[in-house]
Structure 1
Amino acid sequence: THVVSAYLIEQVKHGAQALMLFDTWGGILPALKFKSFDLDYIQKITHAVKAQCPNTPLVVFSKGCGFYLSELAQLGCHGLSLDWTIDLGMARKQVGDKVALQGNLHPKVLLQSDEVIRQEISNLLHSYGKGPGHVFNLGHGITPDVRPDAVQVLIDTVKEVSSKLNA
């Protein structure tokens, strides 16, 4: 915990303008263990970073932890990055405007046809709805087998659908 906090703080000292704390395995913990084995440590890291870098945005990604969004939103981070296992609109209702939401397209969607990519992105953005507080992203890392033109379809579709939604 101390090492991760120090590492994040050093990133800011060396020019990082925003930080993301990745917790890829939190979702595999039994519900009764999540707080003591995961949430408490994320909170310690978040508080340490905010104490030293109060103006640096901090986003927390805890894969598979959609059931704990309310608790994660109380940590004092600026945003929560979501994997694809939670509906973005439901997440927005659950956390309100406490934090921004980032995500949450399943990375494997980018292996589908352009038509499917466009439809999935449109569904996701419509689920969130109109207004600020959403950063479009994948729900986890992009895989090496994704076609570069599929990424361009993603970018173009996000721009197109977002501009129509927020017009």
Structure 2
Amino acid sequence: MADSLPLLLRAARGEQVERPPVWMMRQAGRYMKVYRDLRDRHPGFRERSEQPDLSYEISMQPYRAFQPDGVILFSDILTPLPGMGIDFDIIESKGPIIDPPIRSLAQVEALRPLDAAASLPFVGEVLGRLRQSVCNEAAVLGFVGAPWTLAAYAVEGKSSKNYAVIKAMAFQEPVLLHRLLTHLADSIAAYVSYQIESGAQVVQLFDSWAGQLSPIDYDVFAAPYQKRVVDQVKAKHPDTPLILYISGSAGVLERMARTGVDFISLDWTVDMADGCARLPQHLGVQGNVDPGLLFGTPQAIRERIVDTVLKARGRRHILNLGHGILPGTPEENARVFFEAGKSVNELLGAAV
């Protein structure tokens, strides 16, 4: 029966597999014409991500086109915030907007614990439908934002280039920020468990902005709350693999390894061999092809995949990009990436 499980799930659990599984961060999205056509008909991002039929359709678009080994829920890391009492909007040209931002103890104390089943039923519905649709041909991935990154959005009120507002809170009002991070961690843990119970077989935690912290501040404001999420999820679902991704993580890789996750997703600024050398052997690695390479030639893409897979040999490895696929990437080059990933054994043989 084990061999009937999806390749990505078997790899993530540490089983011997015939090749590294392959999927892509942001594989459902703007580089695909079929997505852009749907977006033109449904311009509101929250409509696309919170209306179950639309979220399901978008999640399935890259699976139908490329047959990756993982199908990831189309959603947003901010999706659970309204269930806690933090509303948001996403404006196509500006990104997320949270108004009013969270700046006071009274606002934090007014937040609700997340009841994921009650406030996010569409997430559970989509995950269940994805499991039914792909059966064991691919693993169904869930994802969440980690507490530091969600706090940064909530406190800044929008995307930021310097994170000055939340860093000011961290260094002037640390007790307030820790209260917010604790609330977010407990709610996110409940959200991860809900995704697993709804059908997610692997879950990725995105702490996209934690790479903007110095290592000493990562130890205070990010890592403990990543671990708080992981510990609560593992207490309920010990066999569900968890992946942690941070953009710009080169300075904190060893620290990421201590959070209790099963996989570290490397961004493309870390050499795969260096990343593997810096991480304990029991941890899996995901990544880490530069998304910009997908603007190059098919040969360049294949050669980089061979290089990445060779450097990760001997480790649990999920082939992926080192960040999300970029808008404007030629769809045919995405196809090359997936096809090369799935035929990597033949490519490795040819490279010898």
TM-score, length-normalised on structure 1? 0.90
Q: How does 1:74-89 map to 2 (within 5 A)?
A: 74-89=258-273
Q: Which residue number corresponds to residue 15 of structure 1?
A: 199
For residues 28 and 73 of structure 1, the distance between their equivalents in structure 2, rounded to whole angstroms, comes to 18
Q: Which residue number corresponds to residue 154 of structure 1?
A: 337
* TM-superposed deviation, 1:97: 1.9
Given the superposition, is the C-alpha separation of residues 74 and 165 from structure 1 closer, same or farther in structure 2, using an over 3 Å criterion? farther
For residues 245 and 307 of structure 2, the distance between their equivalents in structure 1, rounded to whole angstroms, comes to 22
Amino acid at match of 2:332: D
SS at 2:326 equivalent: coil
Moved more, 109-118 or 53-62: 109-118
Q: Which residue number corresponds to residue 130 of structure 2?
A: none
For residues 125 and 110 of structure 1, the distance between their equivalents in structure 2, rounded to whole angstroms, comes to 17
SS at 2:222 equivalent: helix
Q: Which residue number corresponds to residue 43 of structure 1?
A: 227
For residues 135 and 53 of structure 1, the distance between their equivalents in structure 2, rounded to whole angstroms, comes to 21
Residues 306 and 348 in structure 2, CA contact (< 8 A), matched pair in contact too: no
Which of 295, 305, 321 is the equivalent residue of 1:121? 305
Deviations 1:17-63 (A, max 9, x none): 11110010111112221111111111111111111111111111122
For residues 282 and 314 of structure 2, the distance between their equivalents in structure 1, rounded to whole angstroms, comes to 14
- Whether 2:278 is the aligned partner of 1:112: answer no
Where structure 1 has 5 or more consecutive residues not aligned to the other structure, the ranges are none
Q: Which residue number corresponds to residue 140 of structure 1?
A: 323
For residues 122 and 98 of structure 1, the distance between their equivalents in structure 2, rounded to whole angstroms, comes to 23
Residues 192 and 233 in structure 2, CA contact (< 8 A), matched pair in contact too: yes
For residues 97 and 157 of structure 1, the distance between their equivalents in structure 2, rounded to whole angstroms, comes to 26
Percent of paired sites with the same residue: 31
Where structure 2 has 5 or more consecutive residues not aligned to the other structure, the ranges are 1-184
Which of 89, 99, 102 is the equivalent residue of 2:283? 99
Residues 27 and 62 in structure 1, CA contact (< 8 A), matched pair in contact too: yes
Give runs of ≥4 in structure 1 deviating > 3 Å. Answer: 159-167
* TM-superposed deviation, 1:118: 2.1
For residues 280 and 347 of structure 2, the distance between their equivalents in structure 1, rounded to whole angstroms, comes to 22
Given the superposition, is the C-alpha separation of residues 36 and 162 from structure 1 closer, same or farther in structure 2, using an over 3 Å criterion? farther
* TM-superposed deviation, 1:163: 4.7
What's the RMSD between the two structures over aligned residues?
1.9
Deviations 1:92-111 (A, max 9, x none): 11224221100011111111
Amino acid at match of 1:23: D
Amino acid at match of 2:223: L
SS at 2:343 equivalent: helix
Residues 104 and 136 in structure 1, CA contact (< 8 A), matched pair in contact too: yes
Which of 41, 44, 57 is the equivalent residue of 2:241? 57
For residues 253 and 217 of structure 2, the distance between their equivalents in structure 1, rounded to whole angstroms, comes to 16
Larger Rg: 2
SS at 2:223 equivalent: helix
Residues 88 and 127 in structure 1, CA contact (< 8 A), matched pair in contact too: yes
SS at 1:74 equivalent: helix
Matched length: 166
